[in-house]
Amino acid sequence: MHYITKASGSALLPKLLGTYERELTAAIEEAISRSPTQIMDVGCAEGYYAVGLVRRLPQAVVLGYDIDSHAKASCLELAAANSVDSRVEILGFCDHSELRNRIGPGTLLVCDCEGFEWQLLDVEQVPSLAFADMIVELHGKTEEECKQEMNSRLGVTHDLQFITATPRSVEMVTAIQDWSEDDQMLALNEFRTNGQCWVWAKSKSA
């Protein structure tokens, strides 16, 4: 992927080095193997996942949502830099109505919206969520609370895999082996709090 020179709300260097959210690699590959035709990226920022996924899925289109105007502009810039802008639509706020109107067969929902996921991902309000695969970054609760809450919400409709952030090691990237120790650690730092976790929720109905 051709990248731009800025990131929105996250560190840039781990994305350029290929270590950003590396814990999700297996989940992302499995999601891709299920051949989604629509990706809804809520909290798309500059488009790391929106553009990356649509490059891997030539049959898919992307709906990217963000409330930050600079992030939306950056996402369009990144899509254009990778010649996929014709398959990427950038929108603003995503709510229950938007999900109800947009989710259909073959939807992959990627969600990193800083805690709003607890309001947004409600199967009672949006029954079609039951048919969407989801990769969700979870915020504002302990890891155990996240597991309990997501099992309560999605345990019937989805197979859930919880993923926890792991430490970074300089050995992961040969390109920075000759850098100073401080620069190496800065390059790999995603500035996360301890206990950061995600859920890979695979629809039982998809």
State whether residue 56 is helix, strand or coil.
helix
Segment 81-108 shows an average pLDDT of: 97
pLDDT tens across 133-170, in order? 999 999 999 999 999 999 999 999 999 999 999 888 88
Residue 165 amino acid letter: A
Flag whether pLDDT at 174 surpasses 90. Answer: no
pLDDT for the residue numbered 161: 98
In a domain, residue 123? The reply is: yes
pLDDT for the residue numbered 63: 98
Flag whether pLDDT at 192 surpasses 80. Answer: no
pLDDT for the residue numbered 1: 93
In a domain, residue 3? The reply is: no
Flag whether pLDDT at 206 surpasses 90. Answer: no
Give the CATH number, domain containing residue 149.
3.40.50.150
Number of domains in the chain: 1
* Cα–Cα distance for residue pair 60/152, rounded to 1 Å: 30
pLDDT for the residue numbered 44: 98
In a domain, residue 125? The reply is: yes
pTM score, whole prediction: 0.93
Look over the chain and give the mean of its residue pLDDT values, rounded to a whole number.
94
In a domain, residue 121? The reply is: yes
pLDDT tens across 14-59, in order? 999 989 999 999 999 999 999 999 999 999 999 999 999 999 999 9
Domain of 111? Answer: 13-203
In a domain, residue 1? The reply is: no
pLDDT for the residue numbered 173: 85
In a domain, residue 120? The reply is: yes
In a domain, residue 179? The reply is: yes
In a domain, residue 4? The reply is: no
